[in-house]
Structure 1
Amino acid sequence: MHDTPLRNTTTIAVVDDDESVRTALEGLLRSSGYKVRTYCSALEFLDTNAPAGTHCLISDIQMPGMSGVQLHEKLDAMGFKIPTIFITAYPHLGAGTPRLVACLPKPCEADSLLNSIEAALRQRH
């Protein structure tokens, strides 16, 4: 995978109710040169100004309160067209989601995730 010039200015939001998943993804993405913000729920993500500064969203699908699919639909309705990657034990639940770059199974391979992020950033620009 080649280095993207915008990588160090790119913010990726990770939304997952599992702290160990958030921590692992944050470490991988930071070591790959991305700015990372983590959120324990879709509602926490929405309650901040995070959507405006997010270049790519990585989210679990099944979370308490609001699912990843519902989060993506809410962002879309709010006018935020954020390329999204789902990482989930239930990949079939993400089928047909607009601007869905990938729906990766948990646990996902680092290379698959990083390639999906690169695809998301190309889609955004």
Structure 2
Amino acid sequence: MSASPLIAVIDDDESVRVSLEGLVRSLGHRVCSFASAEAYLGAHTASDCVISDVQMPGGMDGIELIEALAASGDPVPVILITAFADAPIKARAEKAGAAGFLKKPFDGAKLIDCLNEALGL
């Protein structure tokens, strides 16, 4: 039997990371979390899907993460979550190839649906 999918959670807000970790684990998936996109990329984690905030302080945002993963030749499905879901950000996310786009706060069932679709379950 193969290992359960590994889901990476990236958000600068620790409470969001902890909440998402619990939800992902409740689905039987493995989870790792990071406070920034740079920390995720630096860890060279072979995740099956990423759930990332769009806007994080400092460096790379979630959309730039999608672009960096695609440029690396190792595209991973990325579900974006954001409190700032305006039309230009949503359009950038779709153009970059986001596997999902959810506005905070969101219904956990919607995230589960996005995650299952991204994982092909």
Q: TM-score normalised to the size of structure 2?
A: 0.88
Gaps of 5+ in 1: none
Q: Which residue of 1 aligns with 2:47?
A: 54
The answer to whether the 8 A contact 1:56-1:82 is kept is yes
Q: Which residue of 1 aligns with 2:12?
A: 17
2: distance between equivalents of 1:109 and 1:89?
13
Gaps of 5+ in 2: none
The answer to whether the 8 A contact 1:86-1:94 is kept is no
1:115 paired residue among 92, 108, 113:
113
1: distance between equivalents of 2:35 and 2:101?
19
Q: Matched residue of 2:95: which SS?
A: coil
The answer to whether the 8 A contact 2:66-2:97 is kept is no
The offset of 1:90, in angstroms, is 2.0
2: distance between equivalents of 1:58 and 1:97?
17
The offset of 1:60, in angstroms, is 0.4
Q: Which residue of 1 aligns with 2:71?
A: 77
CA deviation profile, 1:13-33 (whole Å, cap 9, x unmatched)? 011000000000001111111
Q: TM-score normalised to the size of structure 1?
A: 0.85
Runs of 4+ in 1 over 4 A off after TM superposition: none
Percent identity over the alignment is 41
Q: What is the aligned residue count?
A: 116
CA deviation profile, 1:59-107 (whole Å, cap 9, x unmatched)? 0000121100111111110012111110101223142234312100101
